[in-house]
Amino acid sequence: MSKDFAPRVSKRERKSISFDDQLYRFSDSKLLEGARLAEIKLKDIQVKEQVRTKFNDDSIRDLAANIRTNGLIQPLVIHLKNSVYRLICGERRFRAMSLIEQESAPCFILENKSAEELMAIQFSENSSREELHYVDKAEGIFNYHAATQASERKIVEALGISKSEVHRGLQIARLSQEIREAAKKYDVEKYVLLELEALPSSPLKQKIEKKIIAGEVTKRNDLKKLLKQESKEALKISLPVDLDPETLKAIRGLVMKSKEGLEEKLS
């Protein structure tokens, strides 16, 4: 599935408010199959929870200034059910237009879509944007999984992303909310969270979690250094002096094998 989701509509095209092939510029038309284009008042559109949760106020103001000058180039996507319009895609645009007190906006209107279909549309539109944080994307994958109980293979088909992206997204979403919020606050690298999730429950894992929450571990190299240091401390064990030489040799061999395995994993 292509991620070139965004339709581009000129002011001249919007005047006709028709929904023809020239206007319908999507790489994946199935996402908006049956939609129609119309001008809708912003006060009539309900905004609920979105895949994207992190917004930059400066970028919203910049977008508002651009819309004031050039108009809205990309229509919102909304869903009509029981005479209520719900925003599906375009919360940044919606916020920007509200900031400049614009009364209405061109919208693609969907009807008779299931909750699962709407989640897939919302995820596809949001994930195509570079500024969507990987944690928000992971939570979007998890929310779709929780709502549909779909297998990873089915999620791949529905959301148009790779199997590894689905698997890693579910891994990240399983981490605590504190960890996920810290990842966004301190711009923690994705692989720090993936390696944290893979660690077994232990005092060491709890120590790493605290450091991530405090913003002390943000890069993969930070985590590798910490794990190596902790592994060295853990290997400083004292053995009973009365053990026979063969037992001592066997224990030291196991310790060295564990150390080598950890270092190989961290390399």
Q: Can you give the residue ranges of every domain in the chain? A: 1-118, 237-266
CATH number 3.90.1530.10 is the correct assignment for the domain at 1-118: yes
What's the pLDDT score for residue 58? 79
Taking the C-alpha atoms of residue 261 and residue 248, their distance in angstroms, rounded to an integer, is 20
What's the pLDDT score for residue 28? 44
What's the pLDDT score for residue 25? 40
* 99 close to 58: Cβ distance less than 8 angstroms: no
Q: Residue type for 33, please?
A: E
What's the pLDDT score for residue 219? 95
What's the pLDDT score for residue 195? 92
What's the pLDDT score for residue 59? 80
**Sheet containing strand 84-89, strands side by side:** 36-41, 104-111, 76-81, 84-89, 45-46
* 105 close to 39: Cβ distance less than 8 angstroms: yes
Average pLDDT per block of 10 residues along the chain, 267 residues long: 38 40 42 83 86 67 88 88 92 91 92 87 73 87 89 87 93 96 95 92 90 95 86 61 64 60 54
Point out which residues pair with 111 in neighbouring strands: 80
pTM to 2 decimal places: 0.61
| Helix axes 177-185 and 203-213, enclosed angle (nearest 10) | 40
